[in-house]
Amino acid sequence: MLNLPAPLDPLRRKVSAVWAYAQGMLPGETRSTPVLIFAQGRSGSTVLESLLASTGHFASRGELLGEGHEQVRRPHAFLRGHARRTGRRHFLAHVKVYQLNRDRIAAGAAPIDPRRFLQRLHGEGWRIIHLTREDRVRHVLSNLVAEARKEYHKLDDRPETTAVRVERAALEAGIAERLAFAEEERAALEGIPHTRVAYEDDLEPASAHQATVDRVLDFLGLPHRPVSTPLRKINARPLRDIIANYDELADWLEGAGPGQRGAATGAG
């Protein structure tokens, strides 16, 4: 692809789309197995992609339907075209359910039905990994802290000190939104073969990384290889240290607030 300066990013994206469409229209199939991580933001998709890429089996492409690509006319063809450039390595990318509908509508593009999108990919031999995150409180907080830090990923072991003030109504609304996205994912995946990875069990503890990737590689029919990632966990502190006004929410948080999983223990 062209190496264009930042002000020309819109042109870069347009060239990328045209190139991908052209590749997708060529006769024949991809020579490798394309793999899609289907997950919400802040659920560990970048960590999982990093771990899988570290095996050397994959050409990792990140969020191809993310910011700047909301108006891609045919997301399926766009991904297929990119998958054809990976050669013998297996194509790997991740897509969020709301990148197919909500974000496209906001950008003035026609929404894509997530179920039809996944069915079409599966029909062409794509393998799907469904990544979930069950602790909705920490899921919502993860995004708030990332915005406050102005960085979404951590590559060092320096202590984290960012704390955010959270209104209960906003937290409840965020949880409800995450639950709605999870239901959309469930409906879209129903009946479509896939493997599931749970953030809290399979990615949050570094000790689980190798076993998690080994299980995914078994699903894909690929040999096991050692894994690693430079990414570090941002929100490993107790909620009391992350929420600046924790005392105002303590009764709710500690009294089985909705969508929690170990929220008051500080795990995660």
Q: What is the pLDDT of residues 201-215, one digit of tens each?
A: 999 999 999 999 999
Predicted TM-score (pTM) of this structure: 0.86
Question: Residue 262: CB partners within 8 Å, gap ≥ 6?
Answer: 135, 200, 268
Q: Which token pair is 208?
A: 């689980």
CATH label of the domain that carries residue 250: 3.40.50.300
**Is 149 a member of any domain?**
yes
In a domain, residue 178? The reply is: yes
Could you give phi then psi for residue 118, rounded to 5 degrees?
A: -70, -40
Name the pairing type of β-strands 195-198 and 90-95: unpaired
Whether the pLDDT of residue 228 is over 60: the answer is yes
Number of folded domains that form the chain: 1
Provide the percentage of residues in the chain whose pLDDT is more than 70: 84
Tokens 């078994």 found at? 218
Amino acid (1-letter code) at residue 192: I
Per-residue pLDDT reduced to its tens digit, 137-177: 999 999 999 999 999 999 999 999 999 999 999 999 999 99
Which of 172, 165, 100 lies closest to 140 in space, CA to CA?
172
- The lowest-confidence range among 61-70, 96-105, 158-167, 240-249 is 61-70
242 is a domain residue: yes
In a domain, 1, yes or no: no
Name the residue range of residue 10's domain.
6-265
